[in-house]
Chain A
């Protein structure tokens, strides 16, 4: 048998073994066996010196071709085997992706806080400052400077916790108005503020009453503030809180610290104005009180009523939360039941 035939036979044998190799180690063995320094091909090539000068290049070329072919086939097989091995590994690694993820701890802002932040952001965007005031107030700021002298009938509307004759738990956030107005330097520009905070009333806690709740007071004092501006502001606020689908209705009302006074209603979100038990069949839900600041209030704070005027509004985030989310018991806000608090987890 000539060298060429021998090589041919080796090639066939090699190709066969490559195709039979099922593992990388086996394939490696094949490579060493056929292509290694001590392998049969090298040996065949060694026998070339016995060949004639004419035959030598031909056989050499043939031998190289066999070696290259085997090398290429081994590489190809290796890639195949590697891919197979990887696929096998990956398929073994497959998970039930429907299993729950590892629980991460994430706290939530209180639902009332969310509403307060929401309103703060809206008004910050309109150039208002956020101002806080004391929760334990002087009668003077809580009532007298708001045009509610002692014995004013409207004081009955807000039964108050007193600490002493002159010191009380504020029954509204309006005293912050009086305090801010008194301090504001109008030569430096208009006063635009909101004041969120806790207020207290002598109410027995039940589903709709709480001795503690929140209020947000708003106040704008400038040279050319109109009732139209108040209306526009309230409409903007209502749309922010309840959405564009809702109508806003203003009604005359009475607050000692504003004149004219208004109450704002929005379309009942439960029945969309058709009338239901939530809105007592009126189609409207009362959401806030407001008005043009009473001249007496301005005067008591030392503001020149000939030059300046403005509007004020007040609303209750607790009530908003109850309305917006259908919370039927105000006490839920202060019990801090984790199952309640964690429901309000919508961000953005």
Chain B
């Protein structure tokens, strides 16, 4: 809410409290302050001018030449293009050398050959936003009204109250009381330890009419939950015109457009009391029964702003003889609007169900000042005075008289909320050591009637109705803490029974996984969980069902991902589109599989992608392009670090969506698939607009759950190792794994390692054949191996290779 410092100072003694300091106090004690601003910020040399003579410009069909009295010895000449300029007006003059909005400098100039010594300004040109400028001045210059009392040469900034400081607060949903000047006055009084002055208007006899409002309208409220309070007062014989100058300028500086002497009063009273009001032309309601009811689903209603709105049955409507005349708490109807012809008005002061108002405001996107207040709650104790004051002011400003009586449809009463709290409890929760006196003083400042029972050490607080946010002990604790000052709270850390701060095995494994992959050169990526329906389902072999969001905002974010690779490929595409070709990324995150109508399954995955070169070309090293065996090496090294007890195997897989049919392997743990690795299918790569790319994706949940080896130490043999090399010609179809299996199955006692050191196929070899060469290492832990033993063992290997795989030993 925009708070005028000047208005606040009518309630409180703000001498010596600078606006900025006051804002800081409000922020530290009550609600956030968005800004402290002044409308006259950087404005300079802008004065009131009186137009003595206005003539048409000789060389223009729209410019006028004005002689303006600006309080100097001689009038000055200004050329003005505004359509509403005329003689004998008090206007805003930016003199030569002045600064207007956006720090624009105004200088003497010639306009089509005629001298102009300044500029006659519109309100927008000195910083008012379009939507607060009175309608008649929106497209022209501003003209001061007669009651403004301005004289030529007066400072415009002072005349319009632009020199006031406006503290703009951001009111949290619980502090609806801070949406009124009175509420703010109460709050600031507590902060500053002052007593605020509240004026209470009463109807003077000269303004009182004998005519009873009840004779003109009836109100019937059936549902006190929807409409706990509904009251009306009337004013007869009004003449609709502009409001007093002070009221117009006040509204403008807090961001509200002056309309007329009725609407402005309802806005003013709303600002003062937080009670939204609505004024109707009595003639449209006369003789009718007012009621509040749910709208007819699908019916249409034209609101004050001229918009036709389709209603829902949850919208609350004000009805006159069952015909809608307003949307309760949100906006009135066009048909019952107060117009210049209106002679009698009736003012509605009501309280509506905040939930219904909130829903309607959201649905119709009508977050009016009124709706904002109804949603957050209304001060039941201020309504009567607000209604009365509105009637008085309307009567005053419009030469009317207040009709006799208040017509009531409902009047649910609220009494002060009684809350108890003990002194030890306050100190226990806040960590303070406040005395009874200090706490009582806080309640006194808040103006909460409080009793203290010494025996029980208990405060019994009677919370005024104006603070409807306070119901329970915790609310009172907050009040004490706020007024005591959060700054004054002690700074301690929790004590009590010690606890062990420790990551779980799963968390440790995930951290380790990240460290290993980063060590292997992969940088961590973070992608979106929501993606397109198509991308979500890529690279998934199993028949998992997708999770889709209701009412997605865009096609790009429609389904939860079932794989991490799609996101990583998007990242590769993003980088490669920007000529960053060499990519090595990994991501650790969740994939989601639908699980009936409940929560989906969330599985931790880890995936990686490499593209471009794994080793960039440098001055001393050639470029090394990524290959299948790089991604496999990464996965092997990663899994090695995890020390899984089970056996990891890699099996060719031809039919995995998006993957190269000849360059993809499933990763298995003891025969169970835990993921895959390989090359992205060239067509898929084209689709994603990426270069040759290799990926892996593993089910991390399976890995977390898999059994791990204990870290252990094996004795390193002191005896020398003996190696034997075997090179063989063998059919291309025979895999490395088959060869290793044959060697392993010979179960040689001293064979400690087998290493592939050469693979060759091509020239000089028979078609369909390849050459594979392995080095076998023999070593005994207890003794020096004899050549004979090794030869014996080695020959068995050779024999088996020949026999089982038809190998030709070279």
Contact = CB atoms under 8 A, between A and B. Distances in A.
Contacts of B557: 211
A227 B472 contact: no
Nearest to B32: A251
Bin the interface of chain A by size.
35 or more
B519 interface: yes
A292 interface: yes
B526 interface: yes
Contacts of A129: 499, 501-502, 504
Contact of B430 (A124, A192, A228): A228
Interface stretch (A23-31, A40-48, A67-75, A255-263): A255-263
Contacts of B497: 189-190, 222
B145 interface: no
B310 interface: no
B526 A100 contact: no
Interface in A182-210: 189-190, 192, 198, 200, 202, 204
A125 B501 contact: yes
A126 B495 CA distance: 10
B172 A341 contact: no
A91 interface: no
Contacts of B362: 156
Interface in B472-510: 472-475, 477-478, 481-482, 486-487, 489-504, 507
Interface stretch (A2-10, A57-65, A77-85, A331-339): A331-339
Given A163-B547, A341-B523, A228 B491 contact: yes
Contact of A162 (B490, B550, B583): B550
A136 B514 contact: no
A157 B616 CA distance: 48
A193 B129 CA distance: 49
A344 to B, nearest CB: 10
Contacts of A295: 472-474
Give the dominant DSSP class at A's interface. mixed
Interface in B680-704: none
B600 A253 contact: no
B529 interface: yes
A161 interface: yes
Contacts of B586: 107
Contacts of B482: 252, 260
Contacts of A202: 553
A105 B521 CA distance: 4
A222 to B, nearest CB: 5
Contacts of A153: 173, 354, 358, 375-376
Interface in A279-295: 280-282, 292, 294-295
A154 interface: yes
A226 B492 contact: yes
Contacts of B317: none
B707 interface: no
Given A105-B584, A228-B430, A333 B472 contact: no
A259 B482 CA distance: 11
Interface stretch (B51-59, B204-212, B250-258, B570-578): B570-578
Interface string A110-128: 1011000100100111111
A294 B477 CA distance: 11
Nearest to A295: B474
A226 B430 contact: yes
B111 to A, nearest CB: 37
Interface stretch (A11-19, A231-239, A266-274): A231-239
B384 interface: no
Nearest to B571: A336
Interface string B20-54: 00000001111111110000000000000000000
Interface in A96-148: 99-100, 102-103, 105-110, 112-113, 117, 120, 123-130, 132, 134-138
Interface string B548-562: 111111000100100
Interface string B433-474: 000000000000000000000000000000000000000111
Contacts of B496: 190, 222-225
A232 B486 CA distance: 12
Given A162-B549, A292-B477, A231 B489 contact: yes
Nearest to A286: B32
A180 interface: no
Contacts of A254: 172-175
Interface string A298-317: 00000000000100000000
B172 A253 contact: yes
B429 interface: yes
A198 B561 CA distance: 14
Contacts of A294: 474
Given A200-B530, A341-B525, A107 B520 contact: yes
Interface in B120-136: none
A260 B486 CA distance: 10
A229 interface: yes
A220 interface: yes
A233 B491 CA distance: 8
Contacts of A233: 493-494
Interface residues of B, number: 103
Contacts of B615: 103, 105
A167 B560 CA distance: 13
A136 B547 contact: yes
B552 to A, nearest CB: 8
Nearest to A167: B599
Given A128-B499, A161-B549, A229-B492, A263 B602 contact: no
A151 B359 contact: yes
A74 B582 CA distance: 61
Nearest to A150: B355
Contact of A110 (B507, B526, B582): B526
A113 B501 CA distance: 19
B429 A227 contact: yes
B124 to A, nearest CB: 24
Contacts of B495: 224, 229
Contacts of A120: 503
A183 B491 CA distance: 30
Interface string B306-337: 00000000000000000000000000000000
Given A167-B597, A212-B529, A336-B585, A232 B492 contact: yes
A252 B486 contact: yes
Most chain A beta-carbon contacts within 10 A, residue among B526, B549, B586: B526
Contacts of A229: 431, 492-495
B8 interface: no
Contact of B519 (A106, A112, A130, A154): A106
Given A252-B31, A338-B580, A137 B599 contact: yes
Given A235-B491, A260-B481, A127 B521 contact: no
B493 A108 contact: no
Contact of A336 (B477, B503, B527, B621): B527
Contact of A100 (B355, B472, B618): B618
Interface in B341-355: 354-355
21 contacts: A103-B621, A105-B520, A110-B526, A129-B501, A134-B602, A153-B375, A153-B376, A163-B550, A169-B530, A189-B499, A200-B530, A222-B494, A227-B430, A232-B493, A251-B27, A254-B172, A259-B472, A295-B472, A309-B429, A336-B571, A337-B575
Given A156-B362, A161-B552, A164-B550, 13 more contacts: A113-B526, A124-B503, A190-B494, A190-B496, A224-B428, A228-B491, A231-B486, A259-B475, A260-B477, A260-B478, A280-B34, A336-B525, A338-B523
10 A-B pairs with least C-beta separation: A228-B431, A105-B521, A226-B431, A260-B478, A254-B172, A107-B518, A124-B501, A228-B490, A336-B571, A250-B486
Interface of A: 99-100, 102-103, 105-110, 112-113, 117, 120, 123-130, 132, 134-138, 151, 153-154, 156-157, 161-164, 167, 169, 189-190, 192, 198, 200, 202, 204, 211-212, 220, 222-229, 231-233, 235-236, 249-254, 259-263, 280-282, 292, 294-295, 309, 333-339, 341-342
